[in-house]
Structure 1
Amino acid sequence: MILDVARVRSGYPALAEGFVHFDGAGGTQPAEPVIAAIAGAMRTAVSNRGTAHEPSRRSGEIVDAARSAVADLVGGDPGGVVFGPSATALTYLVARTLAPAWGPGDEVVVSRLDHDANVRPWVQAAETAGATVRWADVDLATGELPVAQYQDLIGPRTRLVAVTAASNAIGTMPSVRDIADLAHAAGAYVYVDGVHATAHRPTDVAALGADFYVTSAYKWSGPHYAAAIAEPAVWEPLRPAKLIPSPPNVPDRFEYGTLSFELLAGITAAVDYLAGLAGAEGDRRARVLASMAAATDHEDRLLDRLLAGLAAIDGVTVCPAGADRCPTVSFRVAGQTPAETARTLGEQGICVSHGDYYAVEYFEAAGLRASGGAARASLYHYNTADEVDRLVQALGRIST
């Protein structure tokens, strides 16, 4: 299916301001139905969850609808969708819940390709438990995360393997399933950071082999709220620290305090919006898959155009990325810090990111962090070929 980009763009009010948004990896603009759903939930009588009166029943319906929506987005079970304020907070929650079962001699495997939110919680939890941290390295020449190294990293004492589904720094999408198969053969959990990947590819957590999968709605047109997804049977034996009167059941016992009902309404609206991107038919899961496939095709064409344009500019160096990748490109302009490049582009209304974007280990390994990391252009399905050309032309001017 072909994406009608003009129609898609009309659904994002912020785009009317005229800025070119290549900062989707740091957060996309929200779709109009998301804004309306959040406002609608706040204008309607909603109480804390319960059954005594209509406003309390409404909040329960909002929560249930959001769990079903996220499950349709990633191919999970609604009963295994846990909400929280951010992917970082949810990962810390899972790490602190799992770590008491670890001890000296146990091992945790993390990667230098990952956002620090899928590194530091595990490193710190392992340190507290006395477990050993083992590191998977990036091939800096290719941008790949080689699977072969995991055969040596994973062993009988491995308790968890944390890996990203897509790098928020360079876009590389590792072979998560192959890594997961090795981890499962050793009896280890697999925790997958899907924050960057979910926005750019059709997602199936079971196909990935993820025991836990975390995603943030503001990376896919929604509000600033996150979800961790696992099968209910995976959550069931885990006992997080909790208040005595808070719900004991799964998934509620992993959610601290009162959920943000208005943001959950926005999450449901965001998934519904994504499901309608390509005008596909069928149930919501089928429409999501078709729409995300169409978005992927569009974004990949833009990525090819961007990479070709950057390759033609003397003085622009692109960080290598793997063969399977998201439409995210980090680069540097000779004679400029990444901050200077981003600021110059920003003065022309072109929004890119700069720094290490919390991909600390990657930029340390690449020797770039101390000098400012890189500038990053992250494409999304509302971007256009004309916008890509505008970025390339601007970089051509400032690199001379």
Structure 2
Amino acid sequence: MTYDITALRAQFPALKAGSAHFDGPGGTQTPLPVIEAIADALANPLSNRGHDTEGERNAEAIVTRTRQALADLLGADPTAIVFGRSATQLTYDFARTLAKTWVPGDEIVVSRLDHDSNIRPWIQAAAHAGVTVRWAEFDPATGELTPDDIGAVLSDRTRLVALTAASNLIGTRPAIPEISRLVHQRGALLYADGVHYTAHAHVDIAQLGVDFFTCSPYKFLGPHLGVLAGRPDLLETLTPDKLLPSTNAVPERFEFGTLPYELLAGTRAAVDFLADLAPEARGGRRERLASAYAALEQREDALRRRIEEGLASLEPVIIHSRAAHRTPTLLLTLDGHDTTDAYRHLAARGVDVPSGSFYAIEASRRLGLGDTGGLRVGLAPYNSAEDVDRLLEALSDFLHRPAQRPRNS
């Protein structure tokens, strides 16, 4: 099953500016239905949630429908969908809450593969609770982080493992279901960062076996927002710090202040947009999403191979994304050239390929790239073969300039 890339691209006003966007891992461009849903929410009566006035009913409907949309996207229970400003904010909130259940002598596990938002909140919470932090290492030569790597740092004192479902830097997709079984055998919880994963793979949190799963709609065509899906029974046991008059109901007890209703409306529209990606798909939204992601993965993998084949002829290029199972995300360094210079050269030619470590600073250091990282080429649903050709041509042009001493080697 495929989708019409020309028709899809016509739905993105930002693409009219002419750039080839390979910056999707940092945030995708926004389709018209999402923009219109946000505007529509703001154009109609809107108030705090309730059932008496039209504004209250509109707010209530937006929240309820968006929880269901996210539940369909993630294979979750809508009563266990928590909204927040960002995945980082949600992780800090839950780290503080879960740390209340830890005692000195307990242990938690974090990984070098992760974005810092799934590392630092746990380390800081552990320090306040007097809990030991253990590190799971990935192989810098292959980019792999295996169940054995996690198993090596688990113990009977492990209370939580924080691990990415897909690396935002090099795309590695660890074997989460197998890791989940190891974690649960030790009686620990698994908190998965699914921000990068959700943009490229059909999520089934039951199959993954995770206890918590975060994602960010702005990575999959929606607005800036954070989402956490948890186990309803587990959320009922947690007691976050909150205002006295605020509800103690789940999931609302974890949502502080008034929700951004317009962004929730845009998020639901983004899920529906993805569900309609493969027009031939049939069934409910969950089933159509499965078909859409199958089409998306097929197309993105084909474009990734096209990029890799083109890069193979550019000898100064080193590809650090090597795991067997990975997203269409490539981290590059350029022997004899600085990637920040490359980023600027490409940007001047309308090819957006950012350079950095993208908050995956531990992974960048583990790869031997220090804090500066490299060029990150990331695909999104709207990327075309023409985009890829522009990227390869612009990068080749840059590499044929006189070499300069690299600042990030």
Per the shorter chain, which TM-score range? over 0.9
Partner of 1:365: 366
In the TM superposition, residue 144 of structure 1 has moved relative to its aligned partner by 0.5
Partner of 1:339: 340
Q: Separation in 2 of the partners of 1:260 and 1:383? A: 30
Residue 349 of structure 1 aligns to which amino acid in structure 2? G
Partner of 1:237: 237
Partner of 1:164: 164
Q: Output aligned runs, 1:8-157, within 5 Å.
A: 8-157=8-157
Unaligned runs of 5+ in 1: none
- Mapped contact 1:314–1:399 kept (Cα < 8 A): no
Q: Separation in 2 of the partners of 1:324 and 1:293? A: 15
Residue 348 of structure 1 aligns to which amino acid in structure 2? R
Runs of 4+ in 1 over 4 A off after TM superposition: none
Residue 48 of structure 2 aligns to which amino acid in structure 1? N
Q: Does 1:214 align with 2:243?
A: no
What do the CA deviations read for 1:88-115 (whole angstroms, capped 9, x no partner)? 0000111000001112211111110000
Task: Give the aligned CA root-mean-square deviation in angstroms.
Answer: 0.9
Q: Separation in 2 of the partners of 1:321 and 1:138? A: 12
Secondary structure class of the residue paired with 2:63: helix
In the TM superposition, residue 317 of structure 1 has moved relative to its aligned partner by 1.1
In the TM superposition, residue 8 of structure 1 has moved relative to its aligned partner by 1.3
In the TM superposition, residue 55 of structure 1 has moved relative to its aligned partner by 1.0
In the TM superposition, residue 321 of structure 1 has moved relative to its aligned partner by 2.4
- Mapped contact 1:173–1:326 kept (Cα < 8 A): yes
Unaligned runs of 5+ in 2: 401-409
In the TM superposition, residue 326 of structure 1 has moved relative to its aligned partner by 0.2
Q: Separation in 1 of the partners of 2:218 and 2:151? A: 35
Partner of 1:311: 312
In the TM superposition, residue 232 of structure 1 has moved relative to its aligned partner by 1.2
Residue 366 of structure 2 aligns to which amino acid in structure 1? A
Q: Separation in 2 of the partners of 1:153 and 1:74? A: 29
What do the CA deviations read for 1:283-334 (whole angstroms, capped 9, x no partner)? 0000111101100100000001111111210211111421000000010122
Q: Structure 1 vs Structure 2: percent identity of aligned residues?
A: 49
Residue 105 of structure 1 aligns to which amino acid in structure 2? G
Partner of 1:224: 224
Partner of 1:265: 265
Secondary structure class of the residue paired with 2:104: coil
Secondary structure class of the residue paired with 2:152: helix
Residue 215 of structure 2 aligns to which amino acid in structure 1? T
Q: Separation in 1 of the partners of 2:53 and 2:398? A: 62
Corresponding residue pairs, total: 399
- Mapped contact 1:18–1:349 kept (Cα < 8 A): yes
Q: Separation in 2 of the partners of 1:320 and 1:271? A: 28
In the TM superposition, residue 335 of structure 1 has moved relative to its aligned partner by 2.5
Partner of 2:404: none
Residue 336 of structure 2 aligns to which amino acid in structure 1? G
Residue 290 of structure 2 aligns to which amino acid in structure 1? L
In the TM superposition, residue 231 of structure 1 has moved relative to its aligned partner by 1.9
Partner of 2:248: 248
- Mapped contact 1:171–1:327 kept (Cα < 8 A): yes
- Mapped contact 1:140–1:320 kept (Cα < 8 A): no
Moved more, 43-52 or 264-273: 43-52
Q: Separation in 2 of the partners of 1:320 and 1:219? A: 20
In the TM superposition, residue 209 of structure 1 has moved relative to its aligned partner by 0.8
Secondary structure class of the residue paired with 2:197: coil
